């Protein structure tokens, strides 16, 4: 991914509006590209400040850099969790197919279609 693409995704990242594959590529890029990370940080701070003003909460977090790091970690965890659930889904499908195949073979042997 190049910087232009990554910069175009910044606002969608902040709104948590990126599909999983783009989210992962985006995170890979910003974590290795300081200029895009700065860009993300700026947008993130602006977003958080407006959000906290709207919220009018007294316990607003002022350490935005830490907040962004937390957000990135959360996104990474989200990607991992999704990947694991896809893997589990794939394994279940394989098991299901194997079970059906075994039943079919058993039925065919019982009814002498094989042998
Ligand atoms: Zn970049």
CA of 13 from ligand 1 middle (Å) equals 14
Question: DSSP code of 49?
Answer: H
Condensed to tens digits (0 to 9), the pLDDT of residues 4-21 reads 999 999 999 999 999 999
CA of 100 from ligand 1 middle (Å) equals 49
Task: Give me the residue spans of the domains in the chain.
Answer: 3-83
Q: For residue 77, what pLDDT is reported?
A: 96
Condensed to tens digits (0 to 9), the pLDDT of residues 73-91 reads 999 999 999 999 999 999 9
Give CA–CA dist 75/89, Å, rounded. Answer: 21
Q: Which tokens belong to 105?
A: 């073979």
CA of 39 from ligand 1 middle (Å) equals 9
CA of 32 from ligand 1 middle (Å) equals 8
Give CA–CA dist 48/31, Å, rounded. Answer: 20
């Amino acid at each position: 991914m190049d910087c232009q693409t990554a910069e175009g995704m910044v606002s969608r990242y902040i709104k948590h509006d990126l599909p999983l594959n783009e989210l992962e590529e985006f995170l890979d890029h910003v974590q290795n590209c300081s200029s895009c990370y700065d860009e993300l940080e700026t947008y993130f701070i602006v977003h958080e400040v407006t959000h906290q003003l709207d919220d009018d909460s007294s316990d607003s977090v002022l350490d935005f850099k830490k907040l962004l790091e937390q957000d990135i970690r959360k996104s990474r965890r989200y990607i991992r969790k999704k990947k694991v659930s896809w893997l589990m889904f794939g394994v279940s499908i394989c098991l299901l197919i194997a079970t059906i195949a075994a039943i079919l073979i058993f039925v065919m042997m019982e009814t002498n279609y094989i042998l």
